[in-house]
Amino acid sequence: MNKPAFGLIGIGGFAREHYNTLRYFESEGWLRLAAVCDPFIGEQPELEREVRAGGVRIYHDHRAMLESEAGLRAVVVATPILLHEEMLLDCLGSGLFIYLEKPPVPLASQLQRLIEADRRGQVSVGFQMVDSDWNQQIKSWIAEGRLGEIREIRVVANWPRYDGYYRRASWAGQLVQGDRPVFDGPATNALAHLIHSAMYFGGAEKAEFARPVTVQGEMYRVRPIPSYDLMCLRAGLPSGATVFAALSHAQQTPAPYRVEVIGSEGWCSVSEEHKILESSFGAFTLREMPSGMLHDGYVSFCQWLRGQRERPTTRLADAEGYVWTTNALLASSGGIHTVDPRWYRTCEDAPGRIYDVHGLSEALADGRPLLYSERELPWSVEPTVVPVENTAEWRGRMDRTFQVVTGGGQAKEGAAAEFVTAG
Ligand SMILES: NC(=O)c1ccc[n+]([C@@H]2O[C@H](COP(=O)([O-])OP(=O)(O)OC[C@H]3O[C@@H](n4cnc5c(N)ncnc54)[C@H](O)[C@@H]3O)[C@@H](O)[C@H]2O)c1
């Protein structure tokens, strides 16, 4: 079989994981890595030498790569979030299949533009967690009805993030950069997979993702960044099920992610820590992936490219549940609330400074799906319930909310709730 030629946009940061995975699949005969593009590759001379030695052409501008590499079949976009919209539109113009890193884009209006531009359905969004063995197993149980009616999906995690995480890139911890939305934070970057997986489990059919009808949630800034590092939400789904999420970077002790799906006939849960899928049908050990965390996502992408699968696991429209939920979260929260220094301590660990919020570790550990304000944590602010509608008017309202919150690059306390209520 003719091996499809791939281009990779971005090669440092998480894109390095893509480079290594592409090399692995190349060595296994699945594909050929033809070109990479990164304006900053010169900052990694050893990597640059390795890339050249492997016969891979190097570009510093993605448009130059798309113009010169007529033989490309697919391209992987693994660049900062704020560049995704523009790069995806450029790649779609070249007729390529595209693996777009998650999150696709920050705002519902941006996602709608991309969905409309992707007329031939050539984009796969790289939420690789939904391709994992445990995600696929849970989804099969749901689609086969083995869990009965799904009542609740809970995702909880704290991944501590130290100074270095925020210093690694200029967009880290930002809401916007220039005029481009970033919306960096636990629910919209590092732990976004969990919200997307919850939407996957909320969809009844095998390939279906749920979209929320209401969202109620809270967003907080503990570390002094323009964006947020702590959130919780409850989303109502059309089926009557609820999604509960509590995701944080603002606690010293890690809380590895925990996912629970509760149905009328059964339940299941996964713990990142124990690498085990427990359920009312028994416990299953999760398997190691041969080429690392992107492995299953690449298998599924390559199979789709070969025509062995009808569609990618996450098409752009399948990410609507995730994007709508996180947009409505910001509106429901009334922007991002700054936690008063009375309610956190800072700790100097070997990797740098970390912020640790009073009462959070107990809230994340006890498993009850309660918003922080329902727990009456002293720093919490009660949210409103925001209805979600699949209309241009609603997306426009979410855009305006984002603009209000990011006015002048700095979040304004409380402004968004008033704005959204007023429509
Ligand atoms: N799937 C996952 O599990 C996972 C994990 C981490 C990050 N990510 C995602 O990966 C993406 C990149 O995140 P990151 O933290 O690695 O970002 P980053 O800022 O470290 O950048 C990644 C790379 O993009 C390059 N880049 C910047 N501008 C570019 C341009 N104009 N053209 C080509 N390359 C350019 C940078 O030089 C860098 O090498 C984000 O969407 C992030 O959410 C996904």
Q: Among the atoms of ligand 1, which is closest to the Cα of residue 169? A: 19
Cα–ligand 1 centroid distance for 78 (angstroms): 5
Q: Among the atoms of ligand 1, which is closest to the Cα of residue 84? A: 41
Quick one: which of 151, 270, 132, 161 has its CA closest to 222?
161
Residues 6+ apart with CB under 8 A from 213: 236, 237, 238, 387, 388
If you average pLDDT over residues 397-407, what whole number do you get? 93
Contact 4, 305 (CB under 8 A): yes
Which pLDDT score is estimated for 2?
A: 82
Q: Distance (Å, rounded) from C-alpha 162 to C-alpha 164?
A: 5
Cα–ligand 1 centroid distance for 321 (angstroms): 23
Which pLDDT score is estimated for 228?
A: 98
pLDDT at 204 over 90: yes
- Residue whose CB lies within 8 A of the most ligand 1 atoms, among 9, 11, 14, 129, for a mutation test: 14
pTM of the predicted structure, to 2 decimals: 0.96
Q: Among the atoms of ligand 1, which is closest to the Cα of residue 11? A: 39
User: Cα angle vertex 105, ends 327, 81, to 5°?
Assistant: 120
**All domains of the chain in start order, with CATH:** 5-127 (3.40.50.720), 130-290+316-422 (3.30.360.10)
DSSP-derived 3-state class of residue 199 = helix
Which pLDDT score is estimated for 1?
A: 59
If you average pLDDT over residues 393-398, what whole number do you get? 97
Cα–ligand 1 centroid distance for 164 (angstroms): 16
Mean model confidence pLDDT for the chain: 95
Which pLDDT score is estimated for 162?
A: 96
List the single range of 326-340, 348-362, 374-388 with lowest mean pLDDT: 348-362
Residue nearest to atom 13 of ligand 1 (CA): 80
Quick one: which of 275, 357, 315, 294 has its CA closest to 104?
315
Residue nearest to atom 38 of ligand 1 (CA): 12
Cα–ligand 1 centroid distance for 147 (angstroms): 37
Quick one: which of 26, 172, 118 has its CA closest to 315?
118
116-148 pLDDT, tens digit per residue, is 999 999 999 999 999 999 999 999 999 999 999
Contact 60, 41 (CB under 8 A): yes
Residue nearest to atom 4 of ligand 1 (CA): 14
21-67 pLDDT, tens digit per residue, is 999 999 999 999 999 999 999 999 999 999 999 999 999 999 999 99
Q: b/e string for 27-45 if b means 16 or more Cβ within 10 A? A: eeebbbbbbbbbeebeeee
Residue 158's pLDDT band, with cuts at 50, 70 and 90, is very high
Written as six digits, the tokens of 370 are 């309660």
pLDDT at 417 over 70: no
Cα–ligand 1 centroid distance for 239 (angstroms): 36
Residue nearest to atom 25 of ligand 1 (CA): 10
Q: Which residue has the higher pLDDT, 413 or 300?
A: 300
Q: Among the atoms of ligand 1, which is closest to the Cα of residue 293? A: 3
- Pocket lined around ligand 1, Cβ cut-off 6 Å: 9-15, 37-40, 62, 78-81, 83, 101-102, 126, 128, 169, 189
